[in-house]
Chains A and B, each alone.
Chain A
Amino acid sequence: MLALIDYRAGNLTSVRKAFAAIGADIATPALPADLAGARGIIVPGVGHFNVTASIDTPWREAIRAAVGAGVPLLGICVGLQFLFDGSEEAPGLPGLGVFGGACRLLRPAGSERLKVPHVGWNTLSRRGDSRILDGIADEAFAYFTHSYAAPIVDGTVAETVHGTGFSSVVERGNVFGAQFHPEKSGDVGLRLLANFVRVTRC
């Protein structure tokens, strides 16, 4: 069973349908203790970083314990941002801290005008080996919709540029994150989800 954490951060219909389409069995645990039997954990998310405040201390402890035991974790959109120390969108609200640094508002690199939010299809520029991006070409397109973004770190396996560059896919051990929406990114997104499911079956 893969556990989809429902912390009331938007609509999860699309994420559920995408996992169903690749034949994965998804459940929504009601209690932190229900994470104990999970083969993998998915933290979705949309909107403001504030929503992650709903992932309270017992949930955080359960997620940390699972990650510590090697259970694969995938963060999507705000779920990727949650893997970092925090976000300037919600100062004082800590993230999980698997990756160092804080998420920041997307900014122009120079004096050019930059539309924020970043909405639409943009490229994933590969940086190093990755299991979660297996079978996905360098410069493949994915669908984004967000205003804040995570810095480039050691675990950045794909970078995307909107104004400045940011982490569009991160990976460290069995912890993965995608800033874009794999459930809305056509075959590229489904392949990323299938790669995650494969990791959970190892």
Chain B
Amino acid sequence: MLTRRLIACLDVRDGRVVKGVNFEGLRDAGDPAELARRYNVEGIDELVILDVTATLEGRRALAQTIRTVARELFIPLCVGGGIRTGADADLIVEAGADKVSLNSAALQTPALITELAGRYGSQAVIVAIDAKRAGDHYAVFTRSATSAAGRDAVEWAREAEARGAGEILLTSIDRDGTRSGFDLDMTAALADAVNIPVIASGGAGTFDHFVDVFVDGRADAALAASVFHFEEHAVLELKRHLARAGVPMRLDKDVDPC
């Protein structure tokens, strides 16, 4: 049975994780590779590295981070943040990312979705949508979440799918950072509107928020950062909690050592 996915997001600036991490036993809590390793051991299903730098030095550090993580981790790795052109995406894919996440650039140049889907396959192209409630619909905002893009989130998700996106990463601006739970109505609206997977993001605070987003929000995957960063064993315990609530999860170690 296809399981729902838990995805850990690492916000990285100049090669360092910027949101605090307080696990015991980490030599260096700001090292993305070390954190990625830890999550992998705990059973995370996928990793997203979000580059919040956008300086040239930062981008070089990012490529090195991707290379280090991809050399030893063999689960899907998505990289987003500041990808404006096909050449930006090429650098990230060559460094070892399996998927790239497009946000503002896809809004400005929707043909970029099709270009990258043609080059790497739809499975490698995620379109990230930052949206918030606006009356009876959901309005799309650009990455900084400060300016309205003049698009409806459901309609933009459908267009992204038609242009070749393989997944949608939906972030609720209203809920992001609040720890008050995912926006279930918005997630369900998008999950019902497209036939590609929808990854829900923004608002995770408790284990039950994840149950809600899979059951009521009909999300295919859920992404979080700080929930995983601040508690040791949070990934494994959350997966067990979800499995007990009836949400299909990848849990077991299924292999003998070589």
Q: Are A13 and B195 in contact (CB under 8 A)?
A: no
Given A119-B167, A119-B197, A184-B98, A141–B254 Cβ distance below 8 Å?
yes
Q: Are A120 and B220 in contact (CB under 8 A)?
A: yes
Q: How far is the CB of A96 from the nearest CB of chain B, in Å?
A: 21
What's the interface size class on B, roughly?
35 or more
Which chain B residue has the least Cβ–Cβ distance from A195?
Answer: B258
Which chain A residue has the least Cβ–Cβ distance from B253?
Answer: A187
How many angstroms from the CA of A186 to the CA of B255 in the assembled complex? 10
How many angstroms from the CA of A116 to the CA of B194 in the assembled complex? 10
How many angstroms from the CA of A140 to the CA of B40 in the assembled complex? 16
A143 contacts across to B, CB distance below 8 A: 75-76
- The one of B70, B75, B123, B196 that contacts A13, using a Cβ cutoff of 8 Å: B70
B-facing mask of A34-70, CB < 8 A → 1, else 0?
A: 0000000000001110000000000000000000000
A-facing mask of B23-64, CB < 8 A → 1, else 0?
A: 000000000000000001000010000000000000000000
Which chain A residue has the least Cβ–Cβ distance from B96?
Answer: A13
Among A15-23, A82-90, A148-156, A169-177, the one that faces the other chain is A15-23
Q: Are B166 and A135 in contact (CB under 8 A)?
A: no
Q: Are A183 and B2 in contact (CB under 8 A)?
A: no
Which chain A residue has the least Cβ–Cβ distance from B75?
Answer: A186
Q: How far is the CB of A67 from the nearest CB of chain B, in Å?
A: 25
Q: How far is the CB of B32 from the nearest CB of chain A, in Å?
A: 17
Q: Are A11 and B120 in contact (CB under 8 A)?
A: yes
Q: How far is the CB of A109 from the nearest CB of chain B, in Å?
A: 12
How many angstroms from the CA of A139 to the CA of B98 in the assembled complex? 25
- Residue B250 CB within 8 A of the other chain: yes
- Residue A190 CB within 8 A of the other chain: yes
Q: How far is the CB of B39 from the nearest CB of chain A, in Å?
A: 12
How many angstroms from the CA of A185 to the CA of B250 in the assembled complex? 11
Which chain B residue has the least Cβ–Cβ distance from A189?
Answer: B74
A157 contacts across to B, CB distance below 8 A: none
- Residue B65 CB within 8 A of the other chain: no
Q: Which of A10, A161, A162 lies at the interface centre, i.e. has the most chain B CB atoms within 10 A of its CB?
A: A10
Q: Are A14 and B98 in contact (CB under 8 A)?
A: yes
- The one of B40, B93, B121, B195 that contacts A115, using a Cβ cutoff of 8 Å: B195
- The one of B3, B72, B98, B122 that contacts A120, using a Cβ cutoff of 8 Å: B3
How many angstroms from the CA of A135 to the CA of B40 in the assembled complex? 20
Q: Which of B3, B75, B255 lies at the interface centre, i.e. has the most chain A CB atoms within 10 A of its CB?
A: B255
Residues of chain B having any CB pair with chain A under 8 Å: 1-5, 40, 45, 70-72, 74-76, 93-96, 98, 120-124, 166-167, 195-197, 220-221, 250, 252-256, 258
Could you show 9 A-B contacts with beta carbons less than 8 Å apart?
A13-B93, A46-B123, A47-B122, A121-B2, A140-B254, A140-B255, A186-B75, A189-B74, A191-B258
Given contacts A17-B70, A22-B258, A191-B255, list 8 more A-B pairs with CB under 8 A: A14-B70, A47-B123, A115-B197, A117-B122, A119-B197, A121-B5, A122-B2, A187-B74
Residues of chain A having any CB pair with chain B under 8 Å: 10-11, 13-14, 17-18, 20-22, 46-48, 115-123, 135-137, 139-141, 143-146, 161-162, 183-191, 194
